[in-house]
Amino acid sequence: MSLLKTQELNVFYGDLQALFNIQIEVEAGELTTIVGANASGKSTFINTISGILFQKSGAITFQDRRI
């Protein structure tokens, strides 16, 4: 069972697309990092998973429950 999973995650700021089809799967007990240059979408990704931002399309599941 995956702890956190995103499928085809797309996030926009108005007409500007910030995340394109993000897919990640984190298993329980894994250590995962998000690394990238400035303005590459790290904060947008975390804010979307935490519910601060909303995805335009795609799915986020936590412990097999859609959030």
Which segments of the chain are extended strands (E)?
Answer: 2-13, 16-27, 57-62, 65-66
**The pLDDT of residue 1:** 79
Q: Which domains does the chain have, with CATH numbers?
A: 2-66 (3.40.50.300)
Pairing assessment for the beta strands 57-62 and 16-27 based on DSSP bridges = unpaired
SS3 of residue 39 by DSSP: coil
Name the stretches of the chain with pLDDT < 50: none
User: What is the model's pLDDT at position 39?
Assistant: 93
Residue 44 dihedral angles phi and psi, to the nearest 5° = -60, -45
State the pLDDT at residue 45: 97
Confidence (pTM): 0.90
CA–CA distance, 59 with 45 (Å, rounded to integer): 13
